[in-house]
Amino acid sequence: MGALPCSLPDLPPASAVRQDPRPVFPRSTPRPAPRTRGSGCGGEGRGRRRSTRRAARSSRVGDMAADEASVRIDSWIWSVRLTRTRSMAADACRGGHVRINGDRVKASHQVRPGDEVRLRHLGRDRIVVVTRLVRKRVGAAVAAECFVDNSPPPPPREYTAPAARRDRGAGRPTKRERREIERLRGR
């Protein structure tokens, strides 16, 4: 065995390695405590105050807005279950499908008891008179007490002919059978 053909680079001795001349001192002041929710900018105790306000507000039954004179129309429409979501109510207002006392309104318009609300939703006109203001969504029984429904009855569903059924495994219909199916469907 001979010498290895490659050689390792020459490294300086450990004492010759340059060290940082600056001395390392321990920290003179302790690190600040990590920030928590509700702390900072004079926020000591704000969390408790906020929660008592929330508790007082939610103690009202169904969060009825009895002490307030008005509620946003999109919020009210959603709260009394005339639409499935509040964004659907806002879209209806934006599209001009909501009228209060005959005037088209924006979603932020305030509704008051005694107002007549006309809503065109899912191909049906709903005409309701506001009797009670509700801010949060309530159950169907409570929602029915919040308005008087003067809507016309829904239109009768059109009779649809039963779809042509083919036996399983009968294969693709022939041209003659396809024409009969189209004639039954009214196309």
pTM, two decimal places: 0.51
Question: Integer distance in angstroms from the first to the last C-alpha of the chain?
Answer: 95
| 183 assigned to some structural domain | no
| 30 assigned to some structural domain | no
Number of domains in the chain: 1
Across the range 59-69, mean pLDDT stands at 52
pLDDT category, 62, cuts 50, 70, 90? very low
pLDDT category, 161, cuts 50, 70, 90? low
Of residues 94 and 170, more confidently modeled:
94
- Is residue 56 predicted with pLDDT exceeding 50? no
| 99 assigned to some structural domain | yes
| 33 assigned to some structural domain | no
| 79 assigned to some structural domain | yes
How much is the pLDDT for 59?
A: 42
Block residue for tokens 């307030």? 68
> Percent of the chain scored above 70 by pLDDT?
60
Q: How many angstroms separate the CA atoms of 123 and 133, rounded?
A: 26
> Percent of the chain scored above 90 by pLDDT?
42
How much is the pLDDT for 104?
A: 95
| 42 assigned to some structural domain | no
* Structural domain of 101: 63-149
| 44 assigned to some structural domain | no
Q: Which region among 53-62, 119-128, 153-162 has the lowest average model confidence (pLDDT)?
A: 53-62
Q: How many angstroms separate the CA atoms of 30 and 5, rounded?
A: 57
Of residues 76 and 124, more confidently modeled:
76
CATH number of the domain that 144 lies in? 3.10.290.10
| 8 assigned to some structural domain | no
Radius of gyration of the chain measured on its C-alpha atoms: 37
How confident is the model over 100-148, as pLDDT tens digits? 999 999 999 999 999 999 999 888 899 999 999 999 999 999 999 999 9
